[in-house]
Amino acid sequence: MCGIIGCVGRGDETLETLVHGLESLEYRGYDSAGVALGGDSFGVCKTSGEIEQLRAALAEQSLSGSVGIGHTRWSTHGPPTDENAHPHQDCTGEVAVVHNGIIENYQELRDDLTAAGHTFKSETDTEVVPHLIEDELASGAAPEAAVRTAVSQLEGSYAIAAIVDGTDALFAARNDSPLVIGVGLDAEGTGSTNLANGPYFIASDVPAFRKYTAQVIYLEDGEFARLDGSLTVTGADGQPVEKAVETIEWDPEETGKSGYDHYMLKEINEQPRALRQCLRGRVDELASTVDVESIGDLDPSGIQFVACGTSYHAALYGSQLFEQAGVPSQAYLASEYASSPPPIGDDLVVGITQSGETADTLSALREAKQRGAETLTVTNTVGSTATRECDHALYIRSGPEIGVAATKTFAGQLAALNLFTLATVEDSQRRSSVIPALRDLPGDMQSVLDNSTAAEVAEEYATAESFFFIGRRYQYPVALEGALKLKEISYEHAEGFAAGELKHGPLALVTDQTPVFALVVGDGPIARKTVGNIKEVQARDAPVVAVTDGQSNAATYADHVLEIPETNPRAAALLTNVQLQLVAYHVADNLGRPIDKPRNLAKSVTVE
C-alpha cells in the first residue's frame, strides 16, 4: 500500500496527471513512489524517498504514453528501496502493476513462478502479479484475460491497476481494498455520465483526481474494470455490471493549506466549521429533538463499538455516552475483535472509521454481520466500503482531512456520537441539557483556538523526557488521544492514563522531566479526585499543565493553565481535546518534525 493513481485519455498530460495525483495522495503516508506509462511506448520510473526525488528521476528519463499508473508505497514487504517501489514488472518488461493490500499466498505463488524460471527483483508480495500476467500472455491470452486470470489466483486484499505494453488500456480489480473510478469531462465540459467519453481515472482515494472531475464510480469487491476509450465494469463472473455515477460535493480547494504552514494546523482550525456541518439540520433546539435520518429507527438494547487508533478513542467516548444513558456498551479494538469476537447477542455493532476503509474495522464489522448482528458505521467518507456494507451509516461531515494525524474528524466523531445517543436512547431531560451545549460548541471551540496559550506551553516542555496525560470519564479518552497525537507527530514518548491509575504503577516514572497534562472540568467529585491526582504528581516534582474550565481549584496546583469555556461535560471533552491538539502540533513544530508526513504512518490503513 498506500496510494494508487491511473489515467487514460489525458494525452500528453498523462505523466503530469499521474505525478499530480501522487502528490495529492501524499497525506496517506509513503516511503517511495513510481509511475509507469504505456501506449505507443512503455517505461517505468520509480525511486525510494519522496515525490520530489521521483520528479528528479523523471527529469533524467524520457517517459511518454497515453495510459499510465502511479503509486506511493508504504512498506509492508521489504524496506523502502528503489527495487521495492511500485510499479513492478515482469521478466520481459512488458507488464507494469501497482497494488495496495497484502497478497496472502504470495510466497506459494512466488515459489512456483521461480521454479518455472521467473526472476524476481524485489522483496514485495506485489511482484508476483506481473509475472502471473506474463505467463498468461505467453500462453496466448489477450491482455484483459491475462490480468483477470492472474487476479483470480490471488488470496488476500488487493486493489490492483495494471498496464500492458502495446495496449491503450488500463485494467483494475479490487478485493478488500478501496478503488474509485473518476469519470472525466466531455468536450462540453460536463460530467460524462454515459461512460462513453474520457478521460478516466482510477485511484485509491478521490483527492488523486478531484482536480479533474467530481464524477465517481466506486468499485465493489470482486469487480474488474477496463478503462480505455470507454469504461467497462464486470463482476467476478465476467458479466457487465451497471454502476451508478456519484458526484463529490466538496471542492478541490478544500484540500489545500489555505496559507497555513501545515495541513494539521489548518484542520485543527477548521473544527468549528466541521462541527457546524455535523450538527446542521439534525438538531431542533426548540423541540429538544435530534433527528439523524440515515440511522433509521434504531433503539439499541446494547452496543459494541469497534475501531482503531484515534477512532478507538472516539469509541471509548461513545461507549461512556451510552453507559450513562443506561445502555450496556463496550468498546473493542477492531484488530482484537476480529480475531476473537465477543458474544454479540442482540447488540448493535458500531464501526468507527474516518476513511470507511480501515481493514481491521471492516474485518470486525464483517465478523459481526456474519454472526447476525445489525451494523452501523460512523464515518467521514460517503461511498466508502463501510457505508456500503453496513446496515446504517452516520456521517460526521467533517470534509476532507489531509493531515495523517486525525484532528477535525475526531471532533466530528465525538459530536456525531452525541447525536447518535440523543436520537436513539436519551430522554428529553438529558437532551434539553446537552443540545444547548452542542449548539454553542463551534463558538466555544473558536474561542479556544483564538485564545490558546498552547504554543508557549509547548515551547517550554518540547525537550521533556516524557509526557503524561490524565483524565476521568469523558476526559479519559481525550487523555489517550492527546498522548497519541503527541507520539504521532513529535516522536516523543507520551502516555495517557485514567487519572486514578497513576498511583497503581505509572507514578514510578514521574520526575521533574515528565510534564503531566491534567484534564479537569466542572467541580464535582470527578474533578476533585483529579485534583487529588495533580497533587500526587506535584509532590514528585512533576510540572503540571491543567486543562480546565476554571470551576475547580486545579489551577492552584498547576504550573500552567490551558483554559476552556464552561459547558456540559460531554462537550467539554471536545474543547480540552483541541488544546491538546495544539500542544502536540507546537511541540512537533519546535522539534522540526515533518508534521504532515510522520514517519512509518499512513492516513488510511488498509491492511490488517
Q: What is the dihedral of CA 537, 541, 545, 547, to 10 degrees?
A: 20
**Separate counts of helices (H) and strands (E) for the chain:** 17, 26
Cell of 408: 477535525
Instruction: Kindly give, in sequence order, each residue whose CB lies less than 8 Å from that of residue 508, ignoring residues fewer than 6 positions away.
Output: none
Cell of 539: 509532590
Q: Please pick, among 2, 45, 308, 390, the residue that the annotation labels catalytic.
A: 2
Give the span between the Cα atoms of 126 and 573, in whole angstroms: 43
DSSP string of 392-444, one letter each residue: EEEE-------SSS--HHHHHHHHHHHHHHHHHT--HHHHHHHHHHHHHHHHH
Q: Please pick, among 243, 408, 597, 603, the residue that the annotation labels catalytic.
A: 603
Name the helix (H) or strand (E) containing 360. helix 359-370
Residue 79 CA, distance from chain mean position? 23
Using alpha carbons only, what angle is made at residue 58 by residues 256 and 101, rounded to the nearest 5 degrees?
Answer: 65
50: DSSP letter: -
DSSP string of 326-342, one letter each residue: T--EEEEEHHHHHHSPP
Give the span between the Cα atoms of 228 and 218, in whole angstroms: 18
390 catalytic per annotation: no
DSSP string of 469-502, one letter each residue: EEE-TTHHHHHHHHHHHHHHHH---EEEEEGGGG
Give the span between the Cα atoms of 536 and 566, in whole angstroms: 26
Instruction: Kindly give, in sequence order, each residue whose CB lies less than 8 Å from that of residue 530, ignoring residues fewer than 6 positions away.
Output: 470, 471, 472, 475, 499, 518, 519, 520, 552, 554
Task: Count Cβ atoms below 10 Å from residue 203 Cβ, excluding itself.
Answer: 28
603 catalytic per annotation: yes
* Residue 170 bridge partners (DSSP): 227
Using alpha carbons only, what angle is made at residue 319 by residues 178 and 328, rounded to the nearest 5 degrees?
Answer: 120
| 467 and 312 Cβ atoms separated by less than 8 Å | no
Task: Tell me phi and psi for residue 198, to 5 degrees.
Answer: -100, -170
Give the span between the Cα atoms of 31 and 601, in whole angstroms: 10
Catalytic site residues? Answer: 2, 603
